[in-house]
Amino acid sequence: MIQTHIQDIDLTQLPPNTKQTGWIDVAPRPDGNTWRLPFLYVTGNKPGPLLVVTSGVHGDEYEGIEAIPDIFHQTDPQTLSGTLFMIPVCNVPAFETITRSSPIDGLNLARVFPGDATGSITPRIAHLIATKILPKADFYIDLHSGGIMYDIPTLAGYIHAENELGRKSFAGAQAFGAPILWGHPFPPAPGRTLSSAVDLGVPCIYTETTGGGLARANDVACFRNGVCNVMKWLGMLKSAPQGMPLTHHLLGSGNLDQAIQAPVAGYFKPEVTLLDDVQKGQQLGTIRDLFGKILSELHANTDGVIIMLRRLHCVRVGDGLAHITKYHPE
Ligand SMILES: [Zn+2]
């Protein structure tokens, strides 16, 4: 297979019955090279839906980055209807520096969508994805994880809305087959890949898993199977989706910018673990100084379930430490 390097891409004009990898130009670099986005696609020998999958929107989240080439290699054009188009690393500069945000302009790619064609590198990446990749998609999956900083369980997040887009998002999340479903009220927080997809009318989900700089085999397998399950649900592959048993169905803001923040800097010692049920006011942990003196006690701001904890112990003022969400009222 010859890799292609292209300046522009039209997902409606991809040749059928093909597997292809390559690069799309984003912006010039000062040294005369080019920032480029890697892509992998498989087109079936029969027409069908266009499924777009991205990962590496944050540069330190590896599970999706590992799963995407696996999915590419196991997908056969002969048994596929439609097109699977995947970008394994969206924030290429952040991937290189092993950071959540871009080292070039300091921006979080998941806060600048739909981007800006004349902006710095991060909004330019967002603009390319929002204008060239997402608009023609029949369904979109954005694979995330806790990255180096956060601990978060394996889940599929969907748009909780009483409309066609919300119904498809929920059904797609169910088909993905992660052990936890997490619905988010409409509209999603702005600047995200999902808010951009929703603005374009594209039903979508995102996923989270362990992170920590790891790509654990079970987590990668969940993502690999999950994407294939969504292809089965969309009718792109013949068999029926086979997900993992559901353990939690949660509902609440997925905006981790609104997590309980560190009021002081120091050493964070949590006293709860992921998926613990907590009561409003319950102590979640402490921040100490380097001599062990407690500087701050952190308390739950609401009843609910611990869905995110800061993994790193060193905290600065304002760092997000924990996020609590609710059970879905079924
Ligand atoms: Zn992420």
pLDDT in tens, 34-80: 999 999 999 999 999 999 999 999 999 999 999 999 999 999 999 99
Average pLDDT score, the chain: 97
Compute the distance from residue 78 Cα to the ligand 1 centre, in Å: 33
Compute the distance from residue 11 Cα to the ligand 1 centre, in Å: 25
pLDDT at 188: 92
- How many helices (H) does the chain have, and how many strands (E)? 6, 19
Compute the distance from residue 107 Cα to the ligand 1 centre, in Å: 13
At the topology level of CATH, where does 4-251 sit?
Aminopeptidase (3.40.630)
Compute the distance from residue 92 Cα to the ligand 1 centre, in Å: 14
Compute the distance from residue 113 Cα to the ligand 1 centre, in Å: 14
pLDDT at 27: 95
Q: Provide the percentage of residues in the chain whose pLDDT is more than 70.
A: 99
Is 193's pLDDT higher than 80? yes
Compute the distance from residue 106 Cα to the ligand 1 centre, in Å: 15
Compute the distance from residue 293 Cα to the ligand 1 centre, in Å: 33
Whole-number Å distance between alpha carbons of 67 and 76: 16
Compute the distance from residue 164 Cα to the ligand 1 centre, in Å: 26
Compute the distance from residue 47 Cα to the ligand 1 centre, in Å: 32
Contacts of 190 (CB under 8 A, 6+ apart): 113
Is 330's pLDDT higher than 90? no
Q: What are the boundaries of each domain within the chain?
A: 4-251, 259-327
Compute the distance from residue 258 Cα to the ligand 1 centre, in Å: 15
Compute the distance from residue 268 Cα to the ligand 1 centre, in Å: 22
User: Closest Cα partner for 185 from 167, 158, 160?
Assistant: 160
Q: What is the mean pLDDT of residues 104-123?
A: 98
CATH code of the domain made up of 259-327: 2.40.50.100
Is 2's pLDDT higher than 80? no
Is 1's pLDDT higher than 80? no
Compute the distance from residue 294 Cα to the ligand 1 centre, in Å: 31
CA distances from 294 to 89, 269, 298 (A): 41, 10, 11
Compute the distance from residue 183 Cα to the ligand 1 centre, in Å: 17
Compute the distance from residue 20 Cα to the ligand 1 centre, in Å: 26
Structural tokens at position 241: 């989706």
Q: What is the mean pLDDT of residues 200-219?
A: 98
Indicate the helix (H) or strand (E) that contains 48: strand 46-55
Q: What is the mean pLDDT of residues 229-246?
A: 97
Compute the distance from residue 320 Cα to the ligand 1 centre, in Å: 14
Give 57's Cβ-side CA count (13 Å radius): 27
**CATH fold match for the domains 4-251 and 259-327:** no
- pLDDT single digits (tens) 115-127: 999 999 999 999 9
- pLDDT single digits (tens) 249-293: 999 998 888 899 999 999 999 999 999 999 999 999 999 999 999
**Residue located via tokens 């803001």:** 253
Task: Quickly list H helices, 104-215.
Answer: 121-128, 164-176, 193-199
Compute the distance from residue 45 Cα to the ligand 1 centre, in Å: 34
- pLDDT single digits (tens) 138-162: 999 999 999 999 999 999 999 999 9
Compute the distance from residue 152 Cα to the ligand 1 centre, in Å: 11
